[in-house]
Copies of this chain bind each other. A is one copy, B any other.
């Protein structure tokens, strides 16, 4: 298919300019103030044209528990999450669709799904998510979430003797699963890429991490993990390695320009220098970090050190949404309270660049996506500037980032294919999706988690909270 978007507003160095843009097949093929139209004509008048953003860290199956988990810190929140994880591939399919819909309707055209797998039905889980993303047409980076230690091992021992049950899947089986996943599902040209994504050093053996690095090297795949999300994780890394998690990851060769690291809240200056030196990417998940009380990631310091930063929504049970514009707003303004010099604060234009080009760079695709550039992939979004939430007319990018745009996406293309038309998802029936989500769920409150009850006393003791 070909498209000509006519007369859209686009950011220029000094302000905005009106442009025509052409898409042929999967690429942007021309951009100029006035082009002879080809293909389908899209009226860009009173619309803002931006490159698509990357939802650079999420866990789609968490959708089933959004709004539900009590105010708890990560370690206990995870215990409750895993007590009630979806067990049917159909659920994985539906929550992946839902994640994609919310991402697309908030300006995202790519999603990195750090995908929670159903125990014993791992391949079906991955297949269900892949099917959802292909149907809806979002660019998907499937990052099966793996580990080889059981959840209680993620809480520091504090010097006490702790015995943990073995994890439900062996290291070797897990690495075989990843290898099979790559062979079966890694099809970047079709919009599905596999990412190697151990959950984090807190739940992975040296052998598992070594196997992940080997797989990534062999297939030139991106690496992804959670890194130092909480104070507990910082302390655990010291217990486990006698050094910071970042130093350890550098030593084993996990860091590099294909590596993106979610959260990065508890890093010090020398850790930050290592991320810069290795060209690793930080994925900032501000809403999750607030909800779980993890802390405020030192994003201004990353940017000053030259570390690439992108935005993620994180899973919908810790946010509890998949709205990228909300993550961008809070993720760019939150840091103003960490530095009194406003000249260091993130501007709306910088925030947009982090979400688009920063996201692309974190996936080693800065040459292919993230800017409006002839020759790059046509992953594009048109925002309706006559939407009430973007009025009165002022600075369109300021309105988008600092406001609260509500259904402001008019059209979107992924890989040259139109996936949003006139504010509606063009590729799937969202009413049917709503009906299915409704049918597969029920209203509830005050759910009791057995594992939280088991772990809470030790957690409070070791973290210095009154017991």
Chain A residues in the interface with B (C-beta under 8 A): 9, 14-16, 63-68, 70-73, 76, 95, 98, 101-102, 231, 287, 289-296, 316, 319-321, 323, 326, 330, 333-334, 336-337, 339-342, 345-348, 385-386, 388-404, 406-407, 430, 433-434, 437-438, 440-446, 463-466
Determine chain A's interface SS by DSSP, over half rule. loop
**Nearest-Cβ distance from residue A224 to partner chain B, whole angstroms:** 24
Tell me the nearest residue of chain B to A345, going by C-beta. Answer: B71
Report copies per complex: 2
Tell me the nearest residue of chain B to A265, going by C-beta. Answer: B337
Are A386 and B434 in contact, with the CB atoms below 8 A? Answer: yes
* Neighbour of A341 across the interface among B95, B440, B466, CB < 8 A: B466
Q: Given A70-B347, A320-B402, A466-B341, decide whether A287 and B333 contact each other with a Cβ distance below 8 A.
A: yes
Contacts of A341 in B (CB 8 A): 465-466
Are A388 and B430 in contact, with the CB atoms below 8 A? Answer: yes
* Neighbour of A403 across the interface among B320, B393, B397, CB < 8 A: B320
Are A443 and B396 in contact, with the CB atoms below 8 A? Answer: yes
Contacts of A292 in B (CB 8 A): 336
Are A296 and B404 in contact, with the CB atoms below 8 A? Answer: no
Are B16 and A445 in contact, with the CB atoms below 8 A? Answer: yes
Q: Given A388-B430, A394-B441, A399-B320, decide whether A290 and B67 contact each other with a Cβ distance below 8 A.
A: no
CA distance A321 to B406 in the complex (A): 11
Q: Given A70-B347, A430-B388, A434-B386, decide whether A231 and B443 contact each other with a Cβ distance below 8 A.
A: no
**Nearest-Cβ distance from residue A431 to partner chain B, whole angstroms:** 9
CA distance A342 to B75 in the complex (A): 12
* Neighbour of A388 across the interface among B295, B348, B434, CB < 8 A: B434
CA distance A132 to B95 in the complex (A): 42
CA distance A102 to B442 in the complex (A): 30
Are A67 and B395 in contact, with the CB atoms below 8 A? Answer: yes
* Neighbour of A404 across the interface among B323, B348, B386, CB < 8 A: B323
Are B71 and A346 in contact, with the CB atoms below 8 A? Answer: yes
Are A295 and B398 in contact, with the CB atoms below 8 A? Answer: no
Question: Could you write out 11 A-B pairs with CB less than 8 Å apart?
Answer: A16-B445, A64-B392, A67-B396, A67-B400, A72-B342, A231-B340, A290-B330, A295-B337, A320-B403, A341-B465, A392-B440
CA distance A347 to B16 in the complex (A): 43
Contacts of A14 in B (CB 8 A): 445-446
